[in-house]
A and B are shown apart, each in its own frame.
Chain A
């Protein structure tokens, strides 16, 4: 059900207020243009586009804006309404050690993550003003190496159990809840890098083609406002095989493959 700002969502006092709504003299009214979502007794309105609204447990991909040694933290850009914070105490040290941080560690902060670095992290808590605090205290998070970053609207990435995928076509995908998507080569199992060392060996051309094709497919789906998850991306990848990678950036072809993906997924759902 669609509604516009100012429209009444419900007059029933039983329901609780979720995102995208506000109380106008005891009547729950929509404050954005979007689709009404009902989860038990919680009513919220989901708009088409929005800045990322982080929640605890979300996986995000972000870029380091600056290093604040005096505050012992990094500021990360995750396309939220306030800059995200990564505290020094929320980071695993190289080698995976867990110990209290010393003064040397503060000075070494730039050697862990510097400006421009991309990281994957999990939202640990939310500060009083709404800024997110993330942590990388798990070996699967940390600095990202060679690959491609995409930025799409956060509303296109559903909250699912896992956001790390190894697609059958041969790429590794991180679908950040904040709409930042990372495409890279598959990470081999059992590699304990601690999340700081990155591999700078040149990537072979065949793998590059796959990564670029996946990138263009995701952009085509995003343009048609379709939800992004491993199934939709896989389906789109298979459909796109009839075109060359560089043709996939033309708007007509993007629309075509996105529509074909939509149809194919509807058929598969019915089966």
Chain B
């Protein structure tokens, strides 16, 4: 989306509000807006999810293929990421318009998932054949960039929760593996250790989550953390041009674990309610 420029008066009002812990829409700095989740919407993918928030929509689709593992990691499967911003979000993203943003997003995903325990579930024959999951993220609508990362990670986790891979058996007659043809003989992945991203944005004297576009335009910088459901920090990155003091960051850490855990629980509850239908 185009860089939103705010007037002096708007910025002043907004920042003073954040300092008082009362944002423009009445939320406190750590309140998140509603998120709608829908899964299993793409028949061509083994797993898919659609996430909608106020101004942001993301679809994640998972496709599978059997490949040989990396020589240094014979017991681990592979996960590839690909992200794209549709021109639907803004005419600026026509063609290759959003490439800068998506490259950053994909790199962060790759770094966060590098040592994820999910990869161990993807081994078929150690050293010979592993599953490779190709996760495509399509961004249909963007509000603030800072909330985009969080929503993409929720979409990916929900899509992985929805993923069903066919079971693979070893057939001694042909001395090779065989993929089950039974459409109901599927295995679900253990996604409990899949990380979720939490972005905190520094505006005025406080850190906030889930900023609106106006709030992001008045912000100094953002910190992006990827956290798993035990509160382990897997990867972090700074976004934006401003500089940040270190002491407030240290105070942030317990809050971030809390927010991440809440998100993990939210996704688990939502996805469980889908499978029980």
Contacts and interface: CB of A to CB of B under 8 A. Distances in A.
Direct contact of A and B (CB under 8 A): yes
A82 interface: no
Contacts of B26: 209, 212-213, 216, 244-246, 248-249
Contact of B8 (A63, A200, A246, A249): A200
Interface stretch (B27-35, B99-107, B158-166, B184-192): B27-35
B16 interface: yes
Interface in B4-47: 5-10, 12-13, 16-17, 20, 22-28, 31, 33-34
A208 interface: yes
A228 interface: no
Interface string A64-85: 0000000000000000000000
Question: Which of A143, A145, A146, A148 has most B Cβ within 10 Å?
Answer: A146
Chain A CB within 10 A, most for which of B9, B16, B23:
B9
A135 interface: no
Which size class do B's interface residues fall under? 20 to 34
Interface string A130-159: 000000000000011111110000000000
B9 to A, nearest CB: 4
A26 interface: no
Nearest to A115: B5
A144 B8 CA distance: 9
Interface in B178-225: none
Contacts of A147: 9-10, 13
Contacts of A250: 34
A198 B9 CA distance: 7
Nearest to B22: A208
Contact of B31 (A144, A148, A246): A246
Contact of A249 (B6, B7, B13, B33): B33
A209 B16 contact: no
A187 interface: no
- Main SS at interface, chain A: mixed
B25 A249 contact: yes
A215 interface: yes
A117 to B, nearest CB: 5
Contacts of A205: 20, 22
Interface string A199-242: 01011010011001101100000000000000000000000000
A216 B16 contact: no
Question: Interface size class for chain A?
Answer: 20 to 34
Contacts of A246: 25-28, 31
Contacts of B22: 205, 208-209, 212
A202 B28 contact: no
Contact of A149 (B10, B12, B16, B25): B10
Given A246-B25, A246-B27, A203 B7 contact: no
Nearest to B13: A146
A146 to B, nearest CB: 4
Contact of A212 (B5, B6, B24): B24
B27 to A, nearest CB: 5
A198 B12 CA distance: 11
A251 B54 CA distance: 10
Interface in B138-183: none
B10 A118 contact: yes
A63 B7 contact: yes
A116 interface: yes
Nearest to A243: B26
B9 A144 contact: yes
Nearest to B19: A202
Interface in B224-259: none
A159 B33 CA distance: 34
B16 A198 contact: no
A180 to B, nearest CB: 12
Contacts of B12: 146, 200
B5 A116 contact: yes
Interface in A43-72: 63
B26 to A, nearest CB: 3
A251 B9 CA distance: 29
B9 A118 contact: yes
A128 to B, nearest CB: 26
B27 A117 contact: no
B20 A208 contact: yes
Given A116-B6, A145-B9, A248-B26, 9 more contacts: A116-B7, A118-B9, A118-B10, A143-B7, A144-B7, A144-B9, A147-B10, A200-B9, A249-B25
Interface of B: 5-10, 12-13, 16-17, 20, 22-28, 31, 33-34, 54
10 contacts: A115-B5, A145-B9, A146-B9, A147-B10, A148-B13, A212-B23, A215-B25, A244-B26, A249-B27, A249-B54
